[in-house]
A and B are shown apart, each in its own frame.
Chain A
Amino acid sequence: MTNTKGAVTGVNGNMVTVRVDGTVAMNEVAYILVADKKLKAEVIRIRGDQVQTQVFEMTKGIKVGMPVEFSGEMLAVALGPGLLGMIYDGLQNPLPEVAAKTGNFLEPGVYLDALPRDRKWAFTPSAKPGDKLERADTLGTVPEGAFTHRIMVPFGMLGSYTVKSIKPAGSYTIHDEVAVLQDESGNSHSVRMSFQWPVKRAIDCYVERLKPVEPMVTKTRIIDTFFPVAKGGTYCIPGPFGAGKTVLQQVTSRNADVDIVILAACGERAGEVVETLKEFPELLDPKTGKSLMERTIIVCNTSSMPVASREASVYTAVTMAEYYRQMGLNVLLLADSTSRWAQAMREMSGRLEEIPGEEAFPAYLESVIASFYERAGIVRLKDGATGSVTIGGTVSPAGGNFEEPVTQATLKVVGAFHGLSRERSDARKYPAIHPLDSWSKYEGVMQPSSVAWAHHYLERGTEVGQMMKVVGEEGTSIDDYIIYLKGEFLDAVYLQQNSFDAVDASVSPERQKLSFSRVVRVLGSSFSFKDKEEARAWFNRLRQSFLDMNGIEWGKPAFKDADKAIVAFMDERATALAPEAKRIIESLE
């Protein structure tokens, strides 16, 4: 705590005005002393000796004149071993520990240690006395689950240091001193395994940022093939309510080909988090064979929890993601939903009586959203390793209308757009990503030219479908009708996926390549049918056997038989194969 003293002079919702005597920093953490409790708050505006703070708790019971303490620190999170598997609120309070202390309800003013205090970690030093080190350089490692957790020089220690002493291999808690570093002026600094970092500052201890090129496989065909996301990239999922945003994120959090997943449940239903909380410990990570929970951190500030900590929660999550990136790991941050986060900003902006922008969102909405997504990225670290943070955020646009400010501000900064459509979700098409509206600037598991070629059939098929609504089936030529059927076929067997089917729910890139090659063969072939009836019947049969194959385990004899049968069934009817399709098929083999 600093020497600055303050006293409450006003309360308006969760904004409390304080008169201060002494120095105050912007975004500094303050505590309001209410009876026997301390309520955490953040300084958000300073005007002379009047300081406005947003309180991370309900403000009922606060009186004018109540004393306020200032911490001198910005809102920060604890970084160190033990983060994995934890469930935090937006301020990094461990929720299960809070429950053990206060029971069913989240009582205000309870702040617990983010990291287990007494747990011992097997430390192996890698630096030696005399080594010259800078911030984020490795002092040693501890094993954390399936990962090697680097114990680093705290990121806030600027300048260069000489290792004066370092503890030998052994087990220590996060509060034990593991090294003593000496700065250039000869002062000694004691270093522990854990340190604090302000959440609203990006961690920038890397050599350079690289271009995201390697695809982050999600095992969802429409994403990996058509609208891919790269490791270190950003994407957004806007959609009206009930279109399946959260389900899509849950599936991605299970299947994504990354080391660590951080889920930020920001202002959404508690029930959805509960499903993850109860199911993840039971599920196995295909990569490590351990429980999925061991690679997951959940930051959960649901809709009924205080709105100011909702605003903080996405920063808490991204800071932890950046921390693990410093260890050369690939981290995926899924934020659900960024609209709720933006609304939290809007609420505060309204209380500050700022001049409102569109739909009363603050004028700085766009720049804040942009700087959040810009914290993603793939970076080269000092030791040559690369690490990445990928950010995927859902957006909940009012009325399902993508023209609103949050969606638009997000679209400006992300690398991929997975727009969910009410129409597709009503038709029970999962995932409800709209294949014509969505886009991605990243390269996926297929060549972009092949994808574009296949995508063309979707567009043409939709056009014919629209036309048919007007002129009827009778007025459509058989050639157009076949194009329509091809588009429908691609949609049914490739874009849609059965999330209830154990096999079809997650599809490896190799399998996607094979399926894609078969689909391309159908799209690029010419067929002769005597009438539309026959064409439809044939495509229905083809679709049925393809869907059946989608449910058979990869590599099993039954799969190979089904595949052979489908190829034979196609060849029986196909008269010629377009050269472009031939090229694509060859490129996939």
Chain B
Amino acid sequence: MKKVYSRIESITGNVISVRAQDVAYGELASVSTRFGHSLAEVIRLEDDLVSLQVFAGGRGISTGDELRFLGNPMRVSFSDSLKGRIFNGAGEPRDKGPALAENLIPIGGPSVNPTNRIIPREMIRTGIPMIDLFNTLVKSQKLPIFSVSGEPYNQLLARIAMQAEVDLIILGGMGLKYDDYLYFKEALENGGALQKTIMFVHTAADPVVECLMVPDISLAVAERFALKGLNVLVLLTDMTNFADALKEIAITQEQVPSNRGYPGDLYSQLAARYEKAVDFADAGSITTLAVTTMPGDDVTHPVPDNTGYITEGQFYLKGGRIEPFGSLSRLKQMVNGKTRSDHRAIMDGMIKLFSAYRDTLEKKSMGFQMSAWDQKLLKYGELFEREMMDLSVNVPLEKALDKGWEILASCFDPQETGLQTKLLDQFWPKKA
């Protein structure tokens, strides 16, 4: 029988402290307040003074409320019955389903031994040409989606969740608007992907501490499924909210801020989550896509900046499209040589021409005269934007490549494309 503590010494923000013995760092406790029970995690020990972070927040907690230590760190239930379920940041059901308590696993476990990692080798098909063709997603890759508030990044994530060729999707929502939560739920239900999805969702209305738990819970579950041989895709949205939650907690704990109020360990905190992406030589894999909204579209803001140093490239979502410039999959070279012989050539060739199109647009906007070549580029650019960049396009890589040749053929003569003659002979569409 665990001892019950009924005297809370101090309450600051979401942090409370009690005097207690034999408490472990990281241990969980249950606090009973007049609003119900909440979990709390030990974040500091000082002699017999134990500081705890209350998941439900400090609001309304009374110094006379009861607190009971649970004797274990934060854990989450792991079994196949997680599939199709929705939970909150504390691991409690958000859908109407039963709470799960069997086979509890700890979260935030140790890092993978670097010598046991393998060189990434397989692509993940998403059916989105701007990804598959131009910036291929690779199994075990960690990629952020840099975007700005108002962009359809959640729509993009939902599409990837429905179309990606993986065994399991884990969606971690942090600070989601309730509408967006409902959108994900409906989209996945209608798309028939809910059964291979597990959702851990913290909405903007929920206590901020639970936001911090979402990536760890999501990744701990992902790791177990990966070890069982599944290829898991973890979708996180929005990591900037996670970083802001870190900031909020650090500031209330009177930590010295480093850059724009963020704590000094922001890099390590983000890296600990992103580095969970892995391909096990003898089991499955974890691939991570994480939305990072950039305040003010500023890539040098501490959150996207630290993220960029950690991840293996980024997708840059702007104007409702994945921008070919600014987006980069650092691992694409590992896989795009093995798909189809024209993949790399089309990738480079089309982007070069698209870049020329952007230059022409600029010239046009300045009122310069358009040459015949400029006219060709303008036609090409419009086709490219419509047939390739539009997010609603859903075609397999091979079809996208064929489409690429079609677009080129409808705008240019073969020698104008700068592609190798060998490839032109093989792939240039024959006139009907």
A307 touches B265 (CB 8 A): yes
A85 near B: Cβ within 8 Å?
no
Tell me which of B111, B115, B310 contacts A277 (CB under 8 A). B115
A343 touches B25 (CB 8 A): no
Binding site secondary structure of chain A: mixed
A96 near B: Cβ within 8 Å?
yes
Give bound CA distance, A356 to B48, whole Å: 28
Interface bin, chain A: 35 or more
* Interface flags, B64-99, vs A, CB<8A=1, else 0: 000000000100000000000000000000000000
Give bound CA distance, A506 to B305, whole Å: 32
**Count: A-B pairs, CB below 8 Å:** 165
Tell me which of B21, B109, B268 contacts A307 (CB under 8 A). B268
| A343-B267, A346-B258 given; A269·B310 CB < 8 A | yes
B153 near A: Cβ within 8 Å?
no
B265 touches A347 (CB 8 A): yes
| A63-B22, A104-B113, A359-B258 given; A10·B47 CB < 8 A | yes
Tell me the chain A residues, 187-221 only, with Cβ under 8 Å from chain B.
Answer: none
Q: CB-CB < 8 A to A98: which residues of B?
A: 113
Q: CB-CB < 8 A to A281: which residues of B?
A: none
Interface bin, chain B: 35 or more
Give bound CA distance, A275 to B119, whole Å: 6
| A10-B45, A242-B328, A343-B264 given; A271·B117 CB < 8 A | yes
| A95-B115, A274-B118 given; A399·B109 CB < 8 A | no
Q: CB-CB < 8 A to A347: which residues of B?
A: 264-265, 268
Q: CB-CB < 8 A to B275: which residues of A?
A: 269-270, 302-304
B296 near A: Cβ within 8 Å?
no
A124 near B: Cβ within 8 Å?
no
Tell me which of B73, B259, B330 contacts A61 (CB under 8 A). B73
Q: CB-CB < 8 A to B24: which residues of A?
A: 60-63
Tell me the chain A residues, 247-300 only, with Cβ under 8 Å from chain B.
Answer: 267, 269-271, 273-275, 277-278, 300
A108 near B: Cβ within 8 Å?
yes
| A61-B24, A303-B271 given; A12·B259 CB < 8 A | no
- Minimum Cβ distance to chain A for residue B236 (Å): 16
B112 touches A303 (CB 8 A): no
B255 near A: Cβ within 8 Å?
yes
A64 touches B21 (CB 8 A): yes
A440 near B: Cβ within 8 Å?
no
Interchain Cβ contacts under 8 Å between A and B, 29 examples: A12-B45, A60-B24, A61-B26, A63-B23, A64-B21, A64-B45, A104-B112, A104-B113, A105-B111, A106-B111, A240-B308, A242-B308, A267-B267, A267-B268, A267-B271, A269-B310, A270-B112, A270-B275, A271-B331, A273-B114, A278-B118, A303-B268, A304-B268, A304-B274, A304-B275, A346-B258, A347-B264, A396-B309, A399-B305
Using A270-B275, A277-B115 as known contacts, list a sample of 9 further A-B pairs with CB atoms less than 8 Å apart, ordered by residue number in A: A58-B110, A63-B45, A99-B113, A105-B109, A106-B110, A240-B308, A271-B331, A300-B114, A398-B302
Chain B residues in contact with chain A, CB under 8 A?
Answer: 21-26, 44-48, 73, 108-120, 140, 227, 255-259, 263-265, 267-268, 271-272, 274-276, 280, 300-302, 305-306, 308-310, 312-313, 328, 330-331
